[in-house]
Structure 1
Amino acid sequence: MHQDSTLDILKDALATLGAGFTDLPPHTETADPAAISAVLREVAVRLQDNYPYFHPLYAGQMLKPPHPVARLAYQLALYMNPNNHALDGGRASSQMEKEAVAQLAAMFGWTTFLGHLTSGGTMANLEALWVAGRLAPGKVVLASSQAHYTHGRISAVLGLPFEAVPVDRFGRMDTATLEARLERGDVGCVVATLGTTATGSVDPLPEILALRQKYGFRLHADAAYGGYFGLAENLGESARAAFDQISGVDSLVIDPHKHGLQPYGCGCVLFRDPSVGHLYKHDSPYTYFSSTELHLGEISLECSRAGAAAVALWATQRLLPLTPTGEFAGMLAQCRSAALALYEKLAADPRFMVGLPPELDIVVWTVREGSARAVFEEAARRGLHLALAELPGAFFGLDTERVSCLRSVQMKPEHADSAWQEALWSLLSNATDAITSRET
């Protein structure tokens, strides 16, 4: 783990923060520095019992280290510990949230919208489906069979019927089956996933938008994982077409704590029509009297929320603007390039079987001999951390119902570097050979 060279930057920023409160009477913290130091050393030892999520050799799940500016801004804000539910608890951080969320909305082509940060994608999706349920009470929610499991769970919590729509061999929602279901009626909302968390598949949004025109349902885009990829210059034709039309959906979610370089938890929900804000109307006896401006708690189901998350996101987007030709967009293109490079190496190697090519930065494959789990465990022993997945055999052109697969999320920009690509490949290759020789 790299030694943190940014602590002096934080110290300087704390001095600047403190300069804004010099008119207050002095007070001293009563905490014992020696006791704190002892506890922190104990915490550091306990945290060693983790996978190296920050390192390029961790290429399994969607774990991306926060950008240094996000870490520092979050830490700086913690000295104030703002609460972005009401302006009383987070005046400056609420304004920063509004500005950061507006930048996210602009990335999707919206200048008029309603939205706010959440504690994560699940809460963001819950709010979107809650609005859909209020607008079409009791009607069915549809999502693909590869959509995140949270949609079925959320629908149950909200008391809404939920049905899964089959996918094609590329993991995308099958629009012919979707239309057949729409013809039967009683559908209130369709969830299009722009980047499934298992394979990174992008649902065919243009076709789904055309079906909405015909059948009149509400359309929600779950772009929690994949949303930022609209900035990448190297998407394939199908994914590019989907992201180019994302402004046409009714609501969407994106998780800055995935590809947005933020600490957990930081999600965001956006609505194209600001008038849905009336659905949140509620009375509070004490939190909304300090200002006539909009309090974020007035358009949110959550109450207390971390203002520090908004500060960190604002700082990151200030340093790395959400522009198609900027440094941030380049990082996303690198992640996709890394996934394509890994896919091509796997496809050319007779030891492996690949199926659907990566649309974003997730690669899935299986082994022809031995077991995927055995390779997964052997790779981990050698320092390469992957993930396991159970996917439809059709993704690999097989008749079997399910296939045990290996899965890698190439979400660190270092994964595009040839030296790291070779290091990952060598570890995977040697682990595979070790399992093959052991089992033959």
Structure 2
Amino acid sequence: MTDSNLFSLLSRAQSLLDKGFATLPLAPSQSLDSQAAEILNEAATRLHDNYPYEHPLYAGQMLKPPHPIARAAYALAMSINPNNHALDGGRASSAMEIEAVAALAKMFSWPQHLGHLTSGGTFANLEALWIAGQLVPGKKIVASDQAHYTHSRISAVLGLHFVSIPSDDTGRMDLVALEAELATDKIGTVVVTLGTTAIGSVDPLDRILALREKYGFRIHVDAAYGGYFTLASNLAPQVRAAYDAIPQVDSVVIDPHKHGLQPYGCGAVLFRDPTVGHFYKHDSPYTYFSSKELHLGEISLECSRAGASAVALWATQRLLPYMPGGTFARGLESGRNAALELNHHVAADTRFMTPLSPPQLDIVFFAARDPHTTPTPESSSALAQRIFDQAAQLDLHLALANLPIRFFPPGSFPGHSTGTVTCLRSVLMKPEHFEWIDPIWQRLVQATQEALRS
């Protein structure tokens, strides 16, 4: 959909929305003049100072453009600017949020749930760990050393003791190390990451559930990045087993503003046991005077929340339902296929080194090397930086990540088995990326040739 088509559809929808308030007497409204036009033009010019996040040649960080219907629905809702903290502030958008969150719960095969949207995964994870601290006070929170840093930070904010569990050589939580901590009987919650933000590794949730039977603890799944892959049909068997175990966990976080085609910020937290809602109870002298029903604001630590986010997500779900084999699911599968294809090209080239584990979702990372010399972490890191810079000159935008050497086969860096190396990293999360692998690879090869000559 072109922007002109989007604006045309939005204009017609706006007219329909305006008719819903046509019985009101006319009131003064603000308009934009020539000065405003100049300011908007200046803003547009200033925004040139960005990477082309929406283009397939942007294959760096996990930045995915919102779907046109999400943009249109968000803009439409902004003419009202609803606040989903209370029914008084967002009646229709609150109902849409309930429906949108129910669609997420259904995707995870939860027949019942308690949940709501948040400003993003950080706050969603905060709520999940806050509930965990209420249910198992005094117990520790554990997560993999490849989990998002937000978990240790949030635990500190909440006054909870956090323990980092080592990962194995594929970036997944080491279950031997985990069980050693569980044996102390001091662990209350295990954070399981389904799709780490660095390399897309998927913790073995199915095997961690077996440990829960033995030791007893809560399981919180941080699927902010990778949650939607539960719909994909082309996952490796061990990854598929982890996703199939989601219905048995206690809480899940997912970010629709990552793979869910939504504008920032739109996260979500869901609890399998709706009775945890009683921990949120509070007394407000003014917020809920128009409704006796339990409202989203009464089950959220966040107060003001953008109702427009709920409208955008609801509209996107109506157009692209969460169903295996559907258009939305095929987009995820396409991104994963793109990652596998790029990894295949990289693995066959002597100028690159691939990790022990192939892509588990849609993130590819690899180290660079001069095939005529013995690689060291320092020389590889410097070459990766030069390739990164040269690729940008060719309009190919990658990312850099400092990752453990142990993620690569033994002997990749002779004499070095510990420490880190700066790697090139690519998140191929756009459905179009698969069709663009050849142009991406051609530019990467050209950038590498230039970097080796410099």
Distance in structure 1 (CA, Å) of the matches to 2:66 and 2:164: 34
Q: Deviations over 1:166-214 (max 9, x none)?
A: 1111100011110011001211110000000000000000110111111
Q: Figure out how many residues of one structure are paired with residues of the other and give that number.
A: 436
TM-score, normalised by the number of residues in structure 2: 0.95
Q: Is the 8 A contact 1:102 1:111 kept in 2?
A: no
Residue number in structure 1 paired with 2:268: 268
The AA in structure 2 aligned to 1:39 is I
What are the residue-to-residue correspondences of 1:118-267 with 2, within 5 Å?
118-267=118-267
Residue number in structure 2 paired with 1:413: 431
The 3-state SS of whatever aligns with 2:264 is coil
Distance in structure 2 (CA, Å) of the matches to 1:384 and 1:350: 21
Equivalent residue in structure 1 for 2:443, among 414, 422, 427: 427
Residue number in structure 1 paired with 2:407: 395
The AA in structure 1 aligned to 2:341 is A
What are the residue-to-residue correspondences of 1:20-419 with 2, within 5 Å?
20-355=20-355, 356-369=357-370, 371-398=383-410, 399-417=417-435
Q: Is the 8 A contact 1:138 1:159 kept in 2?
A: no
The 3-state SS of whatever aligns with 2:146 is coil
Distance in structure 1 (CA, Å) of the matches to 2:12 and 2:37: 22
The AA in structure 1 aligned to 2:52 is P
TM-score, normalised by the number of residues in structure 1: 0.98
Distance in structure 2 (CA, Å) of the matches to 1:39 and 1:344: 47
Distance in structure 2 (CA, Å) of the matches to 1:87 and 1:403: 51
The AA in structure 1 aligned to 2:420 is R
Deviates more, 1:290-299 or 1:200-209: 290-299
The AA in structure 1 aligned to 2:109 is G
Distance in structure 2 (CA, Å) of the matches to 1:430 and 1:72: 39
Deviates more, 1:195-204 or 1:363-372: 363-372
The AA in structure 1 aligned to 2:429 is M
Distance in structure 2 (CA, Å) of the matches to 1:272 and 1:422: 43
Identity within the alignment, %: 63
Deviates more, 1:310-319 or 1:421-430: 421-430
Q: Deviations over 1:377-425 (max 9, x none)?
A: 11112111111011111111241321110000000111111xx111100
Q: Is the 8 A contact 1:146 1:167 kept in 2?
A: yes
The AA in structure 2 aligned to 1:435 is A
The AA in structure 2 aligned to 1:364 is F
1:6–1:344 distance in 2 versus 1, CA, 3 Å: same
The AA in structure 2 aligned to 1:432 is T
Q: Deviations over 1:148-178 (max 9, x none)?
A: 0000000000000111101111100011110
The AA in structure 1 aligned to 2:167 is V
The AA in structure 2 aligned to 1:360 is L
Distance in structure 1 (CA, Å) of the matches to 2:385 and 2:367: 10
Q: Cα offset for 1:2?
A: 6.1
Distance in structure 1 (CA, Å) of the matches to 2:44 and 2:138: 49
Q: Cα offset for 1:138?
A: 2.3
Q: Is the 8 A contact 1:83 1:90 kept in 2?
A: yes
Distance in structure 2 (CA, Å) of the matches to 1:5 and 1:367: 43
Deviates more, 1:167-176 or 1:65-74: 167-176
Unaligned runs of 5+ in 1: none
Q: Give the superposed CA RMSD.
A: 1.1
Distance in structure 2 (CA, Å) of the matches to 1:9 and 1:131: 42
Distance in structure 2 (CA, Å) of the matches to 1:78 and 1:3: 18
Residue number in structure 1 paired with 2:376: none
Distance in structure 2 (CA, Å) of the matches to 1:43 and 1:29: 23
Q: Cα offset for 1:3?
A: 4.7
The AA in structure 1 aligned to 2:449 is D
The AA in structure 2 aligned to 1:235 is L
